[in-house]
Amino acid sequence: MTLPGFAKGQAYFGLGVLSIINLLNYLDRYILAGVMEKVQKQFGLTDTEGGTLATTFMLVYMCASPLGGYLGDRMPRRWLISGAVLLWSLATIGSGLATSFVMLVVMRGLTGIGEAGYGTVAPSFISDLFRKELRSRMLAIFYTAMPLGAAAGFIIGGWVGERFSWQAAFFVGGAPGIVLAIASLFLPQPARGGMDEGPTIAPVSFGPGFKALLGNTRFWFTTAGLTLMTFGVGGLSNWMPKFLSSERGFTGGEAGFYLGATTVVGGLLGTIAGGFLGDRWDRQRAGGGVKLSAIGLVIAAPLMFLCVLIDGRLALALGLFAAQFFIFLNNGPLNAAIVNSVPPHLRAFAFGISTLTLHLLGDAASPIVIGWISDHSSLGTAIMINALPVLCGGLILFAGLRHFAHPAGAANPPPPAAAAP
């Protein structure tokens, strides 16, 4: 299961620490959504301006991601992870200290830099801890932190913000990262590509690396599907708490609890199911995990639309649960598809480019777009429109399945002249 001579316990320790850090990653990211209404009230922000806070985070995050991937292929990864976690945690605490809208924007930008240094490195790190046939489920375990962390952000933001202050919510979210930054210094150091067949190849520079990816159709179809899904998730995550409070009569704490609880249950079950089913479907047919993800997104889109039309709280909770189950079904399979579509020396770089793309056209854009539509119509209308990109993402994945029947064009590019020492 793990590298020859590499202790099984070390591999699972690494997976566990990285998964806990990933939970904090999403928690700190979505605290803002849980306190958005209070932040808007304090600084006098419109929905468009409120969306700018989330968009700023994503713009900085995506711009820093290629650099994070570039460094992740070259420097000791645990040092990069430790520094990244420390930076975003201090910036989250700094968000709670913000005394102006501009200062809050700056702190959210710094949070994005820190999270980019981590998010592009961790998946390739995990791929070097476990064999290819286990990657979908191991990455699914890692990505269970996404719904859990997002839910924790909604709940902490709503509950702490309501009982204390929105500033206190950022303090609670940021403090644990200081401890985890220290813990990450004790991560194991697997060899890059040690779980893959073939010789170890030195990392390539940006130009040759991007050129190698250009002809890789599997990489780009997978990234396109992820991008459209991310647009929809970004819009839903940033604006659903306010929709529940402003148009469904929830208090801030109730909105955070309802969305958090459905995200935990639906997102967790969807992510785990996607990981195990993705591995099984990949063994049965080429591109099986991608097909599973396509089905999930096509089912999720109408469920997202219906959530805006439902009035009863129980029915709304069931709708949110079902929508998020099918959205998160893709986490393990699509990220495993990216890992498996490129050779080891390109993986962190590929995740950097994928992260740049999916956030540039995904959740960096959706908060401000949904906010603008809300300002010119209603928040409910904006959230219903937000379901369309998710549907398109599933259809694009279906269209790209034929490319998974043969090796990707750039999956095995000619090795560079210099070999790794």
Question: What is the pLDDT at residue 2?
Answer: 42
Question: Higher pLDDT residue, 140 or 57?
Answer: 57
Question: What value does the mean pLDDT take over residues 163-190?
Answer: 87
Instruction: Express as a percent the part of the chain with pLDDT over 90.
Output: 9
Asked if the model's pLDDT at residue 418 lies above 70, the reply is no
Query: pTM value?
Result: 0.65
Question: What is the pLDDT at residue 132?
Answer: 66
Question: What is the pLDDT at residue 300?
Answer: 92
Instruction: Express as a percent the part of the chain with pLDDT over 70.
Output: 86
**How is 349-400 classified by DSSP, letter by letter?**
HHHHHHHHHHIIIIITTHHHHHHHHHHHS-HHHHHHHTHHHHHHHHHHHHHH
Backbone angles phi, psi at 210, to 5 degrees: -70, -40
Question: What is the pLDDT at residue 416?
Answer: 40
pLDDT digits (tens, 9 = 90+) for 278-301: 878 877 887 888 889 999 999 999
* pLDDT-derived band at 398, boundaries 50, 70, 90: very high
Domain boundaries, the chain: 8-194+202-405
CA–CA separation, 365 vs 192, rounded Å?
34
Question: What value does the mean pLDDT take over residues 8-32?
Answer: 82
Question: What CATH number belongs to 8-194+202-405?
Answer: 1.20.1250.20
Question: What is the pLDDT at residue 91?
Answer: 92
Question: Higher pLDDT residue, 216 or 251?
Answer: 216
Q: Please choose, from the candidates 55, 107, 367, 146, the residue with its C-alpha nearest in 3D space to the C-alpha of residue 242.
A: 367
Q: Bridge partners of 222? A: none
User: Mean pLDDT score of the chain, rounded to an integer?
Assistant: 79
Question: What value does the mean pLDDT take over residues 253-271?
Answer: 79
pLDDT digits (tens, 9 = 90+) for 299-328: 999 998 888 888 788 888 888 889 989 988
Question: What value does the mean pLDDT take over residues 29-40?
Answer: 83
Question: What is the pLDDT at residue 5?
Answer: 43
pLDDT digits (tens, 9 = 90+) for 71-110: 766 777 788 888 889 998 999 999 889 888 889 889 988 8
Asked if the model's pLDDT at residue 38 lies above 80, the reply is yes
Question: What is the pLDDT at residue 303?
Answer: 92
Asked if the model's pLDDT at residue 410 lies above 60, the reply is no
Per the CB < 8 A criterion, the answer to whether 85 and 181 are in contact is yes
* The 3-state secondary structure of the chain, one letter per residue: CCCCCCCHHHHHHHHHHHHHHHHHHHHHHHHHHHHHHHHHHHHCCCHHHHHHHHHHHHHHHHHHHHHHHHHHCCCCHHHHHHHHHHHHHHHHHHHHCCCCHHHHHHHHHHHHHHHHHHHCCHHHHHHCCCCHHHHHHHHHHHHCHHHHHHHHHHHHHHHHHHHCCHHHHHHHHHCHHHHHHHHHHHCCCCCCCCCCCCCCECCCCHHHHHHHHHCCHHHHHHHHHHHHHHHHHHHHHHHHHHHHHHHCCCCHHHHHHHHHHHHHHHHHHHHHHHHHHHHHHHHHCCCHHHHHHHHHHHHHHHHHHHHHHCCCHHHHHHHHHHHHHHHHCCHHHHHHHHHHHCCHHHHHHHHHHHHHHHHHHHHCCHHHHHHHHHHHCCHHHHHHHCHHHHHHHHHHHHHHHHHHHCCCCCCCCCCCCCECC
Q: Bridge partners of 201? A: 419
Of the segments 46-50, 138-142, 164-168, which one has the largest average pLDDT value? Answer: 164-168
Asked if the model's pLDDT at residue 218 lies above 50, the reply is yes
Asked if the model's pLDDT at residue 255 lies above 90, the reply is no
Torsion sign over Cα 406, 411, 414, 419: negative
